[in-house]
Amino acid sequence: MVIASFPEADFTGLGRPATLRFTSQVRLYALAGKAHLKLLQGSRRLAGPLNPGAGNGDAPIIVPTKQWRITEMDVRQSLFSLIGISIALIAAYFLFRRNPRATVVSRGPLFIVFFLLFFSAGIANLPLALPGLFERLVGHLVWVNYVPPVKMNVTQVGGTWWLVRWSEPIQTGYFYVFLAGMAWAALNIVQRRARKLNVFCVCGGILWMLTSLIFSFVCFPFCL
């Protein structure tokens, strides 16, 4: 708002032209003040849609922006996943291509103990190989911190989403399938079905378990 201040003066005794000049100046200042107020009101109307509630004392609404960025494909991790899955598929093809019904029963434990590990490792590594795809599916980064639901009298272990919600469940599932494969091989030995192959499978499985146990002790607590 424009405030016009005039010095004190005595206009008595002035003629009509001086009075007209004074009134015209007052009108000009008044018009300038009205124009300035209209400009302020126009700027507020323009700022209204961008900042809702700016004119009525309400707090401005801030629209949150996305805090993640869709990353590109990791070539090294993609090759790791591709190689692991390919090894498992090629092994399954050569093990079960002839008479699949009979070979699955006799050679199934061999595939589970020695080759299913490559497949599970390739699947577990997919979020690191294709982070952009998984970020679109889950709505956040695969490396975001994940805190499991609070439980009473239980040790809470957290980590990244990839580790807690993807990798560890796959590892747990593979471990139970591995134990089932060992029991399957023992059953084949008892039933005298491909005994040499299943004895080799049981021995190799025991060796895998001992190696994993020793490695977990060596790298403790970083392998938990």
pLDDT digits over 185-209, tens only?
A: 999 999 999 999 999 999 999 999 9
Q: Are 148 and 158 in contact (CB under 8 A)?
A: yes
d(CA 116, CA 121): 9
Which positions ≥6 away from 25 have C-beta within 8 Å? none
Higher pLDDT, 23 or 125: 125
State residue 68's pLDDT score: 44
Of 4-18, 63-77, 175-189, give the lowest mean pLDDT range.
Answer: 4-18
Q: What is the DSSP string of 94-137?
A: HHHSSSHHHHHHHHHHHHHHHTHHHHHHHHHTHHHHSHHHHHHH
Query: Taking residues 44-52, what's their average pLDDT?
Result: 41
d(CA 47, CA 80): 53
- pLDDT score of 148 more than 70: no
Higher pLDDT, 170 or 216: 170
User: What integer best gives the mean pLDDT of the chain?
Assistant: 74
State residue 161's pLDDT score: 84
Query: Taking residues 38-44, what's their average pLDDT?
Result: 48
Does the pTM surpass 0.85? The reply is no
Which pLDDT band holds residue 57 (cuts at 50, 70, 90)? very low
Which pLDDT band holds residue 218 (cuts at 50, 70, 90)? confident
State residue 31's pLDDT score: 55
Query: Taking residues 96-116, what's their average pLDDT?
Result: 91
d(CA 134, CA 126): 9
- pLDDT score of 152 more than 70: no
Of 37-51, 78-92, 114-128, give the lowest mean pLDDT range.
Answer: 37-51
Which pLDDT band holds residue 213 (cuts at 50, 70, 90)? confident
State residue 27's pLDDT score: 56
State residue 140's pLDDT score: 81
Which pLDDT band holds residue 156 (cuts at 50, 70, 90)? low
State residue 186's pLDDT score: 95
Query: What are 7's two structure tokens?
Result: 């010095």
Torsion sign (Cα): 74, 76, 81, 82: positive
Q: Are 166 and 131 in contact (CB under 8 A)?
A: no
